Structure 1
Amino acid sequence: QKSRITPEALRRLQGYDFPGNIRELETLVERAIVQSSCGLDLTEELFWQNQPKKQLFRLNLLNAYPKFRHFLRSPWWPDRINYGFTFAFFAFIVAVLCLGPQTRNENFVLNFFWAWWWPLVLLLFPFVGRLWCAVCPFMIYGEIAQKLSLWLWPRQLKKWPRREAEKWGGWFLFGLFALIFLWEELWNLENTAYLSACLLLLITAGAVIFSTIFERRFWCRYLCPIGGMNGLFAKLSMTELRAEQGTCSAECKTYHCYKGGPAEGEGLETNGCPLYSHPAQLEDNRDCVLCMTCLKACPHRSVQVNLRPPAIELWTTNMERNYEVALLFLLFGGIFLHRLPELNNWLGLNVDLTNFWLHLGFSVGALLVPVVVSLIAYGAMQFVYKIKAALENKFVASPPSFVKLAYGYLPLVLGGSLAHYLHLGLGEAGRILPVTWATFGLNGEGLPIWVLHPATIAFLQATTLVFSLLLTVVLTQKIARKSMRSLLGQHLAAIILTASMWWIIIK
């Protein structure tokens, strides 16, 4: 069966000027055929032109710290961690959530999940991006189910429906995340252990089901709500995994990092990238879980783990996606949803939150607050642009698209989420020892606790919000490349949203 070029790949080829003429085109197609499996569609990921890329302000940590390279190529990362610890630990925490006490002040796993995991993972995004996905328990069970199902029922797993997944996958995870947010608020998951266990099992079930249908980690790349959030916030990271495109193009003939294959030279035997991403083709951190499969497979030392300016991809190589921006505003709205009683009091609405339907309606309204404010601000910017163009009777540059500018809010979304969880991380996480004792029916009154004074927590929350606002203004300017005056509407929207979060989180 002959290979076929997908429409997306054809558009990619049509958008390239081919300085090497026909010979370069032949080389690109030959390389794509070798890299793909026989009879598969030739997707856009398989065509990569030798276009020079800016590598300013990058430090390859693998060259700077050889022991770091050795660790990432060792069996410890991440397999021994995943199958030697996380696999069993996850089963244990689900059991404790289901069978143990049901409140956060008596169940140490509930304390760990909401007061430790959430603040820490949010704090780590600017430093290590989507690293959590490399040790995620959901996909560990997905991979085990995949291997077990193939052993019990030998078959060929389905290839990825890439076109449909790219079109609808992001909207699926957006919808699932929205339902999780509402479930979390309406049924008080933060303080109900068995429901938190159900949430973990729900996401694990998705990973297991899709791993027994499709090859590799289809769930992680396209459908996982936590993976979607991680991929979005990973764009802010000061680290990245990339590869030298020239080395991959000139020296590599096997593409084991992408396809998988036996050991070759320095390269180790692998099954290929679980997310079907080639490191030389990565434009952002969205589709890399830092599992280091490519680093282990590469015999040419092409793979790099770089230290870089934070969020640089958002104003250089970022590809805007509608569903990604929808997820951004959903996460933004989640901050207001988590503070629903405070929002109710601040606005003086006196909504009866004990009434399920009123609670549901108010919850949906809270989720919509950031996107409504942002759309009003953008509409005002467009109105000013049209008035100015009409009065001056000459061409006036219009603002960038709403979707493009929306990425400027990303630091504020991350900072607001972190500010919300700081009261748990700094006010409850330090009670883990007495809570652990209480979980097993023991008295832990004399055990030490480590908590900060509420005033100190409020100061740190305020600092986080102000710093996030400043980063949002700077990032918006970098993305838009327009004057401060022309973007005043968006900056005012960011200030209004920051002030609102200040009031409901700190006040």
Structure 2
Amino acid sequence: MAIPSNQLTNEEKRMEEKQPYNLLSIPIIKKFIQSRWYPGIFQWIVLIVFSVIVYELVAGTVDPTRNVGTSLTWVLWWPLIPIFFLVIGRFWCAICPFGKLSDIVRKTIGSNRPMPKFLRKYGLWMIDLFFIGITYSDHIWGIVESPRGSGYLLLLLVTMVIATSVFYERRTFCKTLCFLGGLSGNYSRSGSLELRGTPEICKTCKTQVCFKGSDKAEGCPMFQFVRTMDSSADCNLCGNCVKSCPKDSIRISPRVPTSELWGIKKPMIEHTFLAAVIMGIVFVQNITMVSIWQDILNAIGSITGTDNYNVNFTVAFIISMAIPVALLLGTAKIATVTGGSAEKVKKNFIRFGYAIIPLDLAGHLAHNLFHIITEGKAIWYNTAALFGLNVTRADLAFAPASSVQMLQYIIIVIGMIGSIYTAYRIGNKGSFKALMPYYTLMVILPVANIYLFSLPMMHRV
């Protein structure tokens, strides 16, 4: 029972004021998360919709502009997913159909073996490679433009989910193989919601049910131990720890977006590499949709000696990913030129790479804003057709391209401010001169994005 404020000492009042606001202090939210309905009710809804999408992709029309699976996946879900991560953290992963399917398979026929050491050690790199591979495959085989290609990709992922769930414990696939895992982990670090334990309570707990599980809920599916958790990268807000905790130690709190990026205790090169690569992939996605793309292919072709699209795109893809990595590495070298050790360059490369994440998020949002605003009506037309409604099709756009461009510029500028401030905080609020190389990089990258967004874009779906 809460102690009346007039009975608290001054020290207790100060401690209470320092505590982040806990959404679980709202009885209806706490009761819902502790109930068996959470997150199951969302999981089953998403799984049913996912099944319809896969069926339509595989068996429906091959015209991507009229296939409801294509419009729901690439025009609606893909543009909205970074917003989910920004606003509510990694909650999508709690209700993702792959995660629910993994739980079903594991509980029915799974052997629950420990995660292989190889995946435990190299899982993040596997996620990075899968994300790069799927993006590359889209441009080579046209997955987005092909309902069948999208459907077969989802079925391939379903096969991987089933295979890993049959053999291994918890959500091994989600933790170490899901192509969305690295993206969601990086973006969730910028998110405005966090789940944490109360240190004073957790340190006296002997049960460890948040990790091991209890009769009320399984242990953390993402292998997290709330007592030591200081990142939202692997927390999917599934609520298992809230259900199991015997001392009400868990809190779910709003926070300042990007604030987690300022104090990463164990920065990892896998995260920095992916952050830089995502920026390169945003460049690729933008460049391939503007008129200068053919000129770029021709220029590359004059060097490679071939007009083969796959060859020249591969070169462009590698260069686009390499540029942000090289720029970050060069910036780290410039910033440490006076101190100069290779170890320090590497350390700063890894630390300040996290400052790119807000720009990644902004670039992803701005790029996909084009699709959801200029192609968004296809969602309504195709969904209506799925239910047999005869709706007259008109222009797919909700707003003109000029309005989209203005929104894109605003989003990129906000991302730039977020990245500059993150670099400032990572640098422990150092002098402007000391952090100038990083500030410069955080301006160069958005300027390049703004230039590409200023060019007319072609629809892909």
After superposition, the C-alpha distances for 1:446-478 in whole angstroms (9 at most, x for unaligned) are 679660121111110000011111111001010
Partner of 2:94: 134
- Letter aligned with residue 187 of structure 2: F
Give the structure 2 partner of residue 254 of structure 1: 207
Give the drift of 1:58: 1.6
Residue among 188, 206, 209 paired with 1:234 = 188
Q: Offset of 1:399 from its aligned partner?
A: 10
State the AA in 1 paired with 2:169: E
Matched, 1:159 2:114: yes
Give the share of equivalent positions with the same residue, in percent.
26
CA contact (8 A) 1:433 1:449 kept: no
1:233-284 Cα offsets, whole Å, 9 max, x none, are 111112111111221232x33222221222xxxxxx2221112212221110
Q: Taking structure 1 as reference, are residues 257 and 224 closer, same or farther at Cα in structure 2, changes over 3 Å only?
A: same
Letter of the 1:206 partner, please give it.
M
Q: Identify if the C-alpha distance between structure 1 residues 422 and 54 changes in structure 2 by more than 3 Å, giving closer, same or farther.
A: farther
In 2, the alpha carbon distance for the partners of 1:374 and 1:257 equals 38
| Per-residue CA distance 1:127-155 (angstroms, 9 max, x = gap) | 211110000111211222222324xxxxx
**Residue 214 of structure 1, CA deviation:** 1.0
Distance 1:81 1:386, change over 3 A: closer
Structure 2 CA distance for aligned equivalents of residues 55 and 324 of structure 1: 34
Are 1:434 and 1:447, in contact at CA under 8 Å, matched by a contact in 2?
Answer: no
Superposition pairs of residues 89-488 of structure 1, within 5 angstroms: 89-150=49-110, 156-161=111-116, 164-250=118-204, 252-262=205-215, 269-341=216-288, 345=292, 348-351=295-298, 355-383=309-337, 385=338, 401-437=348-384, 444-445=391-392, 451-481=398-428, 482-488=430-436
Q: Aligned pair in 2 of structure 1 residues 439, 82: CA closer, same or farther (>3 Å)?
A: closer
Q: Which residue of 1 aligns with 2:23?
A: 61
Change (3 A) 1:318 1:332: farther
TM-score between both structures, scaled by the size of structure 2: 0.86
Q: CA deviation at 1:78?
A: 0.9
Deviation for aligned residue 1:57: 6.5
CA 1:341–1:82 in structure 2 vs 1: closer, same or farther (change >3 Å)? Answer: closer
Q: Which residue of 2 aligns with 1:23?
A: none
Q: What SS is found at the alignment partner of 2:252? A: strand
Q: Deviations over 1:92-118 (max 9, x none)?
A: 110100111223311122111111112
Compute the displacement of 1:438 (Å): 5.3
Structure 2 CA distance for partners of 1:422 and 1:400, relative to 1, 3 Å: same
* Cα distance in 1 for residues equivalent to 2:375 and 2:439: 34
- Tell me, yes or no, if the aligned pair for 1:115 and 1:429 is still in contact at 8 Å: yes
Residue in 1 that maps onto 2:35 = 74
- 1:259·1:271 contact (CA, 8 Å) conserved in 2? yes
The separation in 2 between residues aligned to 1:86 and 1:72, in whole angstroms, is 18
Decide whether the 8 Å contact of 1:116 with 1:425 is kept in 2.
Answer: yes
Could you tell me whether the CA contact under 8 Å between 1:103 and 1:110 is conserved in 2? no
Q: Please state how far the C-alpha of 1:327 moved relative to its aligned partner.
A: 1.5
Deviates more, 1:429-438 or 1:203-212: 429-438
Instruction: State the distance in 2 between where 1:195 and 1:405 align.
Output: 37
Query: Residues of 2 paired with 1:283 and 1:59: CA distance?
Result: 17
Q: Deviations over 1:186-242 (max 9, x none)?
A: 122221111111222222222221111111111212222212211111111121111
- Whose Rg is larger? 1
Task: Name the CA shift for 1:437/1:61 in 2 (closer, same or farther; >3 Å).
Answer: closer
Give deviations 1:315-363, integer Å, cap 9, x for gaps.
2244211111121122111101212335771795343676221122222
CA distance in 2, matches of 1:372, 1:188: 28
CA distance in 2, matches of 1:322, 1:136: 27
1:61-113 deviation line (CA, Å, top 9, x unaligned): 111x2111111112221113223x22322221101001112233111221111
Do 1:126 and 1:236's aligned partners in 2 also have CA atoms closer than 8 Å?
A: yes
Q: After alignment, is 323-332 or 339-348 more displaced?
A: 339-348
**Distance of aligned partners of 1:310 and 1:339 in 2 relative to their CA distance in 1, 3 Å threshold:** closer
What secondary structure, in the 3-state scheme, does the structure 2 residue paired with 1:426 have?
A: helix
- What letter matches 1:94 in structure 2? V
Q: Secondary structure at the match of 1:320?
A: coil
CA contact (8 A) 2:273 2:353 kept: no
**Matches of 1:71 and 1:495 in 2, distance apart?**
44
How has the CA–CA distance of structure 1 residues 376 and 114 changed in structure 2, closer, same or farther, with 3 Å as cutoff? same
SS at match of 1:242: strand
Question: What's the CA shift for 1:443?
Answer: 5.1
SS in 1 for 2:128: helix
- 1:6 maps to what in 2? none
Q: Is the 8 Å Cα contact of residues 287 and 293 (structure 2) preserved in structure 1? A: no
The answer to whether the Cα contact below 8 Å between 2:47 and 2:96 also exists between their aligned partners in 1 is: no
Contact 1:139 1:204 (8 Å CA) reproduced: no
Question: Structure 1 157/285 Cα, relative in aligned 2: closer, same or farther at 3 Å?
Answer: same
Structure 2: which amino acid aligns with 1:159?
A: P
Query: What CA RMSD, in Å, does the superposition of the two structures yield over aligned residues?
Result: 2.7
Give, as a single letter, the amino acid of the residue that structure 1 aligns with 2:37.
Answer: W
TM superposition score normalised by structure 1? 0.79
C-alpha distance in 2, partners of 1:95/1:342? 29
- The number of aligned residues is 431
Within 2, Cα distance between the matches of 1:279 and 1:116? 33
The letter for the 2-side match of 1:477 is Y
Structure 1 regions of 5+ residues with no counterpart? 1-52, 151-155, 263-268, 390-396
TM-fit CA distance, 1:55:
9.2
In structure 2, what residue type is equivalent to 1:101? T
Q: Of the candidates 421, 436, 452, which is equivalent to residue 504 of structure 1? A: 452
CA gap of 1:347–1:261, structure 2 versus 1, over 3 A, is same
Specify whether residues 234 and 120 from structure 1 end up closer, same or farther in structure 2 by C-alpha distance, changes over 3 A only. Answer: same
